[in-house]
Amino acid sequence: MSSDSIALPRAETASRPLVDALHGWVTTVDHKRLGILYILYALIFLVIGGIEAGIMRIQLMHAHNDFVSPQVFNRMFTMHGTTMIFFVAMPLVFGFANYLIPLMIGARDMAFPRLNAFSFWLMAFGGFLLYFSLVGANGLYGAGNAPDVGWFAYAPLTSRTFSVGHSTDFWTLGLLVSGFGSIGTAINILTTILCMRCAGMSLGKMPLLAWLNLVMSGMVILAISPLTAAQVMLLVDRYLGGHFFDTQAGGSAVVWMHFFWIFGHPEVYVLAIPAFAFASEIIPVFSRKAIFGYPVMVAATICIGFIGMSVWAHHMFTVGMSSSANTFFVLSTMAIAVPTGIKIFNWLATMWGGKIEFKTPMLFCVAFLFQFLVAGLTGIMLGAAPFDWQLSNSYFVVAHFHYVIVGGILFTIFGAFYYWFPKMSGKMCNETLGKLHFWLFFIGFHLTFDFMHIPGMLGMPRRIYTYEPGRGWDVWNLIVTIGVFFQALGTVIFVTNLLWSYFKGKAAGSDPWDAWTLEWSTLSPPPVYNFASIPVVKSRRPLWDLKHPNDPDWKYE
């Protein structure tokens, strides 16, 4: 381990004055620094969004609670949803993509470093704009502060009549601005993957993470743009007196629903596909086997990308669409289970017969496998229109999509943190704290979201701010709220672990996991230029080839 060469860059930064260091971070166009900025920014918003969730759960802990007013409750669920999707999940996905893709494909930076910085700051200011509504949205009307129209902001709630003041405008502008940032980053990732690969890395030899992020960026380009268009229409309605969603003048509220969910459903896959990417990198390394069925994984991802664009109206079965539309969206929703199932089998087959090491990243990925499966099963239940008519807009739906986003996506993101933290910081994460984080979060997650299905089936609608006692909902809500405290504690341990390991952790060396992709061939943390000389690869696992010159992968691929 050459700890000298790792310690050197940090010694330099420490000796510089703080202002200089901050100036360096603000003006940076380096993909690694921007990736870390994205991730830190997302972590801050994760805490904020988590506090909002905690406030809601305390309010719903028992019947007739009055911890917050109904108005505040509405703001909390709106801000929680918007924050978690646009300012936590998206920046986490982009942060890891930014950091890892150039390293994994053997490039020195993204294709457009300045566009990269511009996109990050657009997204950052989108988030600030949303939260500025807390002080700025009162305007002269004295009505409302944070947006309170729900994260999908159905018309006519967003019309001037029902949303006085500027809270909805901050919501719209925040999402519009961060949306431009997302499109910029997606174009950058797409171009980087297609044009910056090192010699020998044909498309079929890319790490799966690069492949999956290629599909993800394509989906961002095609899915965020409709949201941008819809937000422009909403602004036209609110500021120029337009009638797009004004039912009094012939406009249609259902059109907003379609436009929102044309974005909203692909967005789930925009977040899930990078989560699959993390699992596809972590599971093989900790099973000590190459990924099972690489070409099928790629094909299944592209399938998910295509089908994922055509399922959006399964969010709208209760609106009253024609039976042919219902049938189409039921069938397309069912169809997407096929490629997703293929992926789950491939991960299982990768683990089958492997020498599995249950380090923290692997623990999170194994939990992801089972939790994502359950989330998919409730997804199939809700994807059947008659079932959805019964349970749409109930806590069953809330439990389902949190199972996807927390149980599936967030768990792999935690896994990714523990897996790549040594590369980003040069220090190992503390394994004991990591396991403690895992178990606390695991228990908390299952207490909260397993039991949340039940009040949903008992008829508890989402977004109600309190409820009558004696409907059989009380005990389940109490359990759900107790789970939140476990999750919060787990998150505190996680942040503690990151900070402690950053300052006190033991040096990681360039390749602590004995892994096979290119990012582990350079120093930890990597130098600004990533690679002293641009690598040349001959297989999907270049470091395996290097470590096993007598038995390289390229002989078999």
Q: Is 250 in the site for other proteins (CB under 8 A)?
A: yes
Closer to other proteins by Cβ: residue 189 or 398: 189
Listed in sequence order, the DSSP H helices in 505-550 are 542-547
CB atoms inside a 10 Å sphere around CB 268: 22
- Give Cβ neighbours of residue 315 (< 8 Å, ≥ 6 apart): 257, 261, 264, 265
Closer to other proteins by Cβ: residue 54 or 200: 200
∠ CA 76-78-80, nearest 5°, is 65
Q: Which of residues 2-61 bind other proteins (CB under 8 A)?
A: 2, 5
Closer to other proteins by Cβ: residue 486 or 520: 520
Binding track over 507-546 against other proteins, x by CB under 8 A: --xxx------x--xxx--------xxxxxxx---xx--x
Q: Is 224 in the site for other proteins (CB under 8 A)?
A: yes
Identify the residue among 63, 236, 443, 479 touching other proteins (CB under 8 A): 236
Q: How far is the CB of 544 from other proteins (least distance, A)?
A: 11
Q: Is 112 in the site for other proteins (CB under 8 A)?
A: yes
The residue type of 107 is: A
Q: Is 262 in the site for other proteins (CB under 8 A)?
A: yes
Q: Which of residues 190-219 bind other proteins (CB under 8 A)?
A: 190-191, 194-197, 199-200, 217-218
**What φ, ψ does residue 427 adopt, rounded to 5°?**
-120, 150
Q: How far is the CB of 183 from other proteins (least distance, A)?
A: 5
Q: Quick one: tokens of 443?
A: 């228990």
Identify the residue among 63, 232, 296, 373 touching other proteins (CB under 8 A): 232
Question: How far is residue 337 from each of residues 303, 344, 387, measured CA to CA in Å?
Answer: 10, 10, 17
Question: How far is residue 64 from each of residues 102, 124, 255, 470, 527, measured CA to CA in Å?
Answer: 53, 38, 36, 11, 57
The residue type of 306 is: F
Closer to other proteins by Cβ: residue 68 or 221: 221
DSSP 471: S
Identify the residue among 255, 334, 457, 458 touching other proteins (CB under 8 A): 255
Closer to other proteins by Cβ: residue 156 or 200: 200
- Minimal CA–CA distance to 71: which of 128, 140, 143? 143
CB 472 within 8 A of CB 454: no
Q: Alpha-carbon dihedral of residues 180, 219, 365, 503, nearest 10 degrees?
A: -20
Binding track over 475-494 against other proteins, x by CB under 8 A: --------------------
Using DSSP, state whether 165 is helix, strand or coil: coil
Q: How far is the CB of 367 from other proteins (least distance, A)?
A: 31
Please report, in angstroms and rounded to a whole number, the separation of the first and last CA atoms in the chain.
31
Q: How far is the CB of 119 from other proteins (least distance, A)?
A: 12
Q: Is 244 in the site for other proteins (CB under 8 A)?
A: yes
Q: How far is the CB of 8 from other proteins (least distance, A)?
A: 13
Closer to other proteins by Cβ: residue 22 or 199: 199
CB atoms inside a 10 Å sphere around CB 361: 29
Closer to other proteins by Cβ: residue 1 or 338: 1
Question: How far is residue 81 from each of residues 151, 207, 299, 375, measured CA to CA in Å?
Answer: 5, 32, 31, 18
| Contact residues: other proteins, CB under 8 A | 1-2, 5, 106, 111-112, 183, 186-188, 190-191, 194-197, 199-200, 217-218, 221-226, 228-230, 232-233, 236-237, 240-244, 249-252, 255, 259, 262, 509-511, 518, 521-523, 532-538, 542-543, 546
